[in-house]
Chains A and B, each alone.
Chain A
Amino acid sequence: MYTFTQRLKIITYVLMGLGLIGLTIGFLNAPSTVAEAQAMVADAHGGHGGDHGDDHTATGHNDYHADDSHAVDYAGDQAGESTHADDHGGAHDEHLLHQLQNKPWAALYVAAFFFFMIALGTLAFYAIQRAAQAGWPILLYRVMEGITAYLVPGSIIIYVFLVLTGLHANHLFVWMDVETVAHDEIIQGKVGYLNVPFFLLRAAIYLIGWNLYRYLSRRLSLAQDNALVGDIRNHKLNFRISAGFLVFFFVTESMMSWDWIMSLDPHWFSTLFGWYVLASMLVTAVTVIALIAIYLKSKGYLPKVNNSHLHDLAKFMFGFSIFWTYLWFSQFMLIWYSNIPEEVTYFLTRIDDYNLPFFGMIAMNFLFPLLILMSSDYKRSNWIIVMAGIVIVLGHYIDIYNMIMPATVGDQWFIGWAEMGGFLFFAGLFMFVVFRAISKAPLEASGDPFVGESERFVY
């Protein structure tokens, strides 16, 4: 049995405390009037000097926007235009205000979704191992179940957030704004799907379904430990519900990514977006499993987990990193060369306004793991897995940031109080929930029929 040490508990409290302070400052600093917003932007530009100004004036994408008559109405929210120029009209200043007001909300959403996604990805990975009747990961099941414990608080936070958004506490989702939709034919065509009641109903269905599986599977997994020798009914039932869950999950995960992320840019669509989010989810989840397993092993727990288990996790980190890149590139290249205004603006805003995070994440999520995790020996080395793991986790945080921020704050992004606070708060909450759940049950799923295979596992 793992004991959640007082020291680690204090660390999680400190993280949550610092996070709350950051978020509070972020929300308090958000402007409430147009004048304040303009003052903030003027200050920021003065402070940053020449480079920054040049970046913002280089708006090569305006050519594309000129063709895109549909997009003009919400282009401000979409970050399509450079809002800082003085000669723009009052409408743009209004957009600037909305972007800056959105910023702490969007930062909160990025962090809340990112840590929720780790728990959800782990749940999917766990269900795949269950449904495949895999022998190797049995010794890691309790670690995975610990991580998926975050699903419950994560779901509640996300759902409350979506309800607040539906009640217009913020303006993250453009299609929720009646005034915008009235002037936008493209969104009008999507109202049957993109409307607040249906949106919240769908979210509730996804979240209830995932949490139900998590609850049942965890209960069966624990019950199997106490079952008589040879009685594997719990295991068999767990296998069946895992297979059923996977069918439900892959459909709802795709829809979740359309609803919660893709609809931030309601004109834009990508048919492989669900896969892309899934790849991000799985690679982060496997990385976090590896990091927590290494941490527990360094504290003397998980004595039977050997470096072959870590080797397998590292192979998944490597493989899913390449899978993520494959999907990222497939999405990018087709849209880039087809050059359809509604679609290509998505990447133009990212290349123009988010150049560093957009291309930086390719280095973090692809080049670095590709080169460092290629060697078989390196995949067995704890400190290389930890180093690669930290880069992958941060890289995928930036990935989620790139998915959400351009649509909500446009070119007004920077890593400020709310972003850091959100990350720290949810990191603290995540660690608190996960380690508390890991301490609740024996670390070895000793009743599992495959546990012997996992103990003897040698690659």
Chain B
Amino acid sequence: MSSKIVNAVYDDDDTLLHAVKDIKKAEYRIEEVFTPFPVHGLDHAMGLASTRIAITAFMYGVLGFAVAITMINYIMIVDWPMNIGGKPSFSFMENLPAFVPVIFEMTIFFAAHLMVITFYLRSRLWPFKKAENPMSETTDDKFLMQVALSGDEKKLISLLKNTGAIDVSIHENQDA
């Protein structure tokens, strides 16, 4: 990891996307890109590995499914059998249709909430965390690309300017 990074600011998502492709082609290392909204195709252009959150979603869904079955079997069959529509109330299987909506909702609930929590943990986000983005405009209408400085400084700056950056600045790399 180099000690200096170059911050290039863009004001358009299409320009940014093309710039990312050009910088990649010139074999520079892109440390991070900050955008105010998700840019379609950016992860692909940056060469990021595809997300594994779908796999966790499936596992959380299965967990929710299991919890729901255990829960409703205990509540409705074991602990306090209830008569639903005159159907047999002492058998889980014969009452299954009545439990399907609950099982369905619990599956969704577990998958959705645990997925969001996983996403926050994985992205190192928690309450009162200090913002990491180097420029607050990246939450408004600006896009920022951080490129690790390697080789000729001027060459990289002119390349970034050519890709449509409206501002280019060099910083010490704090993480290094």
Contacts and interface: CB of A to CB of B under 8 A. Distances in A.
Interface of A: 329, 332-333, 336-339, 374-376
A125 to B, nearest CB: 25
Contacts of B85: 336-339
A201 to B, nearest CB: 39
Question: What DSSP secondary structure best describes chain B's contact surface?
Answer: helix
Interface residues of B, number: 10
Given A329-B100, A339-B85, 15 more contacts: A329-B97, A332-B97, A333-B98, A333-B100, A333-B101, A336-B85, A336-B87, A336-B97, A337-B84, A337-B85, A337-B87, A338-B85, A339-B86, A374-B58, A376-B54
21 contacts: A329-B97, A329-B100, A332-B97, A333-B97, A333-B98, A333-B100, A333-B101, A336-B85, A336-B87, A336-B97, A337-B84, A337-B85, A337-B87, A337-B97, A337-B98, A338-B85, A339-B85, A339-B86, A374-B58, A375-B54, A376-B54
A158 B90 CA distance: 47
Interface in B85-135: 85-87, 97-98, 100-101
A173 B157 CA distance: 80
Contacts of B97: 329, 332-333, 336-337
Contacts of B58: 374
Nearest to A376: B54
Contacts of A329: 97, 100
A338 B85 CA distance: 6
A333 B86 CA distance: 13
A438 B16 CA distance: 43
A450 B21 CA distance: 26
Contacts, number: 21
A375 B52 CA distance: 11
A329 B100 CA distance: 9
B29 to A, nearest CB: 25
A376 B100 CA distance: 26
Interface in B59-95: 84-87
Interface of A is mostly: helix
B106 to A, nearest CB: 16
Contacts of B54: 375-376
A374 B61 CA distance: 12
Across chains A and B, which 6 residue pairs bring their CB atoms closest together, nearest first?
A: A337-B85, A333-B97, A339-B85, A336-B97, A339-B86, A337-B84
A329 B101 CA distance: 10
A337 B97 CA distance: 9
Contacts of B86: 339
Contacts of B100: 329, 333
Contacts of A375: 54
A375 B101 CA distance: 24
A333 B84 CA distance: 12
A374 to B, nearest CB: 7
A332 B97 CA distance: 8
B50 to A, nearest CB: 9
Contacts of A376: 54
A363 to B, nearest CB: 15
B67 to A, nearest CB: 19
Nearest to A329: B100
Interface string B37-71: 00000000000000000100010000000000000
Contacts of B84: 337
A332 B85 CA distance: 13
A101 B86 CA distance: 38
B127 to A, nearest CB: 32
Contacts of B87: 336-337
A376 B97 CA distance: 30
A376 B55 CA distance: 11
A38 B100 CA distance: 42
Nearest to A330: B101
A144 B58 CA distance: 33
